[in-house]
C-alpha cells in the first residue's frame, strides 16, 4: 500500500479522491469506484501500488499501436481494478476485482524490461493504468531515465492535473473512445464521455496517440455515430489512427459479434474524415498502412511486419509525412 496522490482530507475522516472524474467521496474504511483506493483512518491509500496481475512481451500492434515502431515488441504489464464497469469487458477477471496479485516494485519492472531482448519499453495495459497511477508514474520516470519507451493503453478517464503530470514521461497512448454519447458511457461503462475527449485532446498535443472504438452490435454501430467520432477526431488531427475493433460477447453482454459488413462500412465512413483507419479483431483482414497521398503500402502487415516503405518518417515513394514514429 502507498498513500495516494491527488486526494483531499475532509471532515469526519472522509476523503475526496481527485484522480479521476468520479471524484469519489469516501468514508473511513470505504473504497472508491475503482476498488483499489481505500480510506484508512482518513488517509487514502493505493491498494494496487505494488501489485501486478499479468506481464508479457507483446507485439506493439496488439496494444493496438500501428504507427509506433511497427513490428516491435514491448513488455506489457497490468495490475487490478478499473474506474469503468464496461458490460463487455474482455479483462473483467482483473479489472473488476481488488484481489491481491503478485508483488512488484517500479524498479523490478524496469529491470525486467531492460533484461528483455528486442524490447522497446513498457506498456501499462490489461487493466486501467490511470488507477495504477502512483506505480505508473514512478516506473515511467525510471524507464525514461533508462532509455525505454512508455505506453499507456487507457480508457482516458483521468483528471486533467494528474494526466498533465504523467504525460511528460509517456511516449504513446492508445485511448478508447468507446462511443460518442454520454448515454452509452453512463449505461454501458458507468463512466462519462467528455473527460475522455479532453484526454485525447491534451495527450495528442504531447504524445503519439491512437484511438480505439469497439464497435458493439446494436449499441454504437450506427454509421452516424462512427462518423461523429471520426469527424471529431479529425478536428484534432486527421492523422490520428482510429482502430475499429470487432466486438465478441463477453462478461455481461451477449449481443451478437459485430458483423464483418458493419466493420467494413464503418471503416469507409471513418475514412471520409481520417487518414488512417483500421479494423481490429478480424482475422485475415488487410491491416497494412497506406500512404494517404500516393496510396502505396508503407507498412505491410502480412506474416511479417515491415515499414520499409517509410524513410525518415516519410513515404518512400512520394515523400508524404506519415504520422507516427518508425524504425526508418
Q: Which is nearer to ligand SF4, 130 or 150 (CB)?
A: 130
Query: Is the Cβ of residue 24 or residue 229 nearer to ligand SF4 in the bound state?
Result: 24
CA distance 60 to 112: 17
Backbone angles phi, psi at 304, to 5 degrees: -115, 160
Q: Which is nearer to ligand SF4, 131 or 173 (CB)?
A: 131
H or E element, residue 43 = strand 43-46
CB of 50 to ligand SF4, least distance (A): 17
DSSP state of 187: I
What's the min distance (Å) between Cβ of 221 and ligand SF4? 28
- Minimum CB–partner distance for residue 158 and ligand SF4 (Å): 8
What is the closest distance, in whole angstroms, from the C-beta atom of residue 23 to ligand SF4 in the complex?
A: 5
Instruction: Kindly state the smallest distance separating residue 257's Cβ from ligand SF4, in Å.
Output: 30
CA distances (Å), origin 156, targets 22, 86, 93, 150, 195: 13, 14, 20, 16, 7
Report whether 122 contacts 77 (CB < 8 A).
yes
Q: Which is nearer to ligand SF4, 86 or 131 (CB)?
A: 131
Phi, psi (rounded to 5 degrees) for 212: -120, 135
State the minimum distance, in angstroms, from the CB of residue 53 to ligand SF4. 17
Cβ-closest position to ligand SF4: 32
Taking the complex as a whole, the smallest distance from the CB of residue 171 to ligand SF4 amounts, in Å, to 23
On whether the CB atoms of residues 257 and 246 are closer than 8 A, the answer is yes
In the complex with ligand SF4, the residue whose CB is nearer, 76 or 83, is 83
- Among residues 70, 308, 312, which one has the least CA distance to residue 320? 312
Report the residue number, 22 or 301, with the smaller CB distance to ligand SF4.
Answer: 22
CB-based contacts of 311: which residues, under 8 Å, 6+ apart?
A: 328
Give the interface with ligand SF4 as residue ranges (CB under 6 A).
17, 19-20, 22-24, 32-34, 37, 83, 131
| Cβ closest to ligand SF4, residue 203 vs residue 216 | 203
**Torsion angle (degrees, nearest 10) of CA 101, 103, 105, 110:** -70
**Residue 164, CA distances (Å) to 65, 170, 210, 235, 302 in order:** 21, 10, 18, 21, 37
**Angstrom distance (rounded) from CA 217 to CA 201:** 27
Q: For ligand SF4, give the closer residue by CB, 6 or 66.
A: 6
- Cα separation, 168 vs 188, in Å, equals 32
Residue 134 Cβ vs ligand SF4, minimum distance, rounded to whole Å: 11
Alpha-helix residue ranges (DSSP H) falling in the chain: 92-95, 106-115, 133-145, 160-166, 182-184, 194-206, 223-237, 260-270
Q: Which is nearer to ligand SF4, 24 or 233 (CB)?
A: 24
Residue 35 CB, shortest distance to ligand SF4, in Å, is 8
Which DSSP category does 189 fall into? Answer: I
Amino acid at each position: 500500500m502507498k498513500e495516494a496522490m491527488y486526494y483531499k482530507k475532509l471532515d469526519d475522516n472522509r476523503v475526496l479522491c481527485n484522480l479521476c472524474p468520479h471524484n469519489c467521496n469516501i468514508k473511513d474504511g470505504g473504497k472508491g469506484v475503482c476498488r483499489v483506493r481505500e480510506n484508512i483512518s482518513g488517509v487514502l491509500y493505493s491498494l494496487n501500488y505494488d501489485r501486478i496481475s499479468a506481464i508479457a512481451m507483446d507485439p506493439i500492434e496488439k496494444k493496438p499501436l500501428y504507427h509506433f515502431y511497427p513490428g516491435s515488441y514491448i513488455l506489457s504489464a497490468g495490475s487490478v481494478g478499473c474506474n469503468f464497469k464496461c458490460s463487455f469487458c474482455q479483462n473483467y477477471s482483473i479489472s473488476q476485482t481488488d484481489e491481491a496479485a503478485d508483488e512488484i516494485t517500479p524498479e523490478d519492472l524496469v529491470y525486467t524490461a531492460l533484461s528483455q531482448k528486442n524490447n522497446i519499453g513498457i506498456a501499462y495495459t490489461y487493466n486501467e493504468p490511470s488507477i495504477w497511477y502512483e506505480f505508473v508514474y514512478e516506473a515511467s520516470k525510471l524507464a525514461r531515465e533508462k532509455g525505454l519507451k512508455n505506453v499507456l493503453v487507457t480508457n482516458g478517464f483521468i483528471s486533467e492535473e494528474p494526466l498533465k503530470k504523467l504525460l511528460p514521461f509517456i511516449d504513446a497512448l492508445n485511448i478508447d473512445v468507446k462511443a460518442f454519447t454520454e448515454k452509452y458511457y453512463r449505461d454501458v461503462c458507468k463512466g462519462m464521455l467528455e473527460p475522455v475527449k479532453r484526454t485525447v485532446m491534451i495527450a495528442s498535443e504531447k504524445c503519439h496517440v491512437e484511438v480505439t472504438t469497439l464497435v458493439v452490435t446494436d449499441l454504437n454501430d450506427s454509421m452516424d455515430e462512427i462518423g461523429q467520432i471520426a469527424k471529431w477526431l479529425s478536428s484534432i488531427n486527421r492523422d490520428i489512427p482510429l482502430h475499429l475493433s470487432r466486438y465478441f460477447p463477453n462478461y455481461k453482454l451477449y449481443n451478437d459479434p459485430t458483423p464483418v459488413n458493419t466493420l467494413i462500412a464503418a471503416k469507409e465512413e471513418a475514412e471520409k474524415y481520417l487518414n488512417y483507419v483500421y479494423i481490429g479483431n478480424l482475422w485475415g483482414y488487410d491491416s497494412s498502412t497506406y500512404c494517404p497521398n500516393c496510396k502505396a503500402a508503407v507498412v505491410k502487415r502480412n506474416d511479417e511486419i515491415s515499414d520499409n516503405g517509410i524513410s525518415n518518417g516519410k513515404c518512400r515513394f512520394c515523400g508524404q509525412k506519415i504520422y507516427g514514429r518508425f524504425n526508418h
